[in-house]
């Protein structure tokens, strides 16, 4: 059972990384900008 869970977690992580690499570069930048705005508001 542990081996199965470990391999499933690895596959899920790899799939998530591939999705991020493909499509979400701009989205990540947008999120960073939003976080910076929020930090500026808190400062």
Q: What is the DSSP secondary-structure string of 6-21? A: HHHHHHHHHHHHHHHH
Judged on CB neighbours under 10 Å (0-12, 13-18, 19+), 19 is exposed
Domain count, the chain: 1
**Chain centroid offset of residue 33 CA:** 15
Domain of residue 16 covers 2-42
The span from the CA of 7 to the CA of 2, in Å, is 9
Which pLDDT score is estimated for 33? 83
Determine the 3-state secondary structure of 5 from DSSP: helix
- Span 1-43, pLDDT tens digits: 455 555 555 666 566 556 555 555 566 777 788 889 988 988 7
């Amino acid at each position: 059972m542990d081996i199965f869970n470990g391999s499933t977690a690895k596959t899920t992580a790899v799939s998530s990384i591939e999705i991020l690499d493909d499509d979400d570069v701009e989205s990540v930048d947008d999120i960073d900008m939003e976080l910076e705005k929020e930090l500026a508001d808190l400062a």
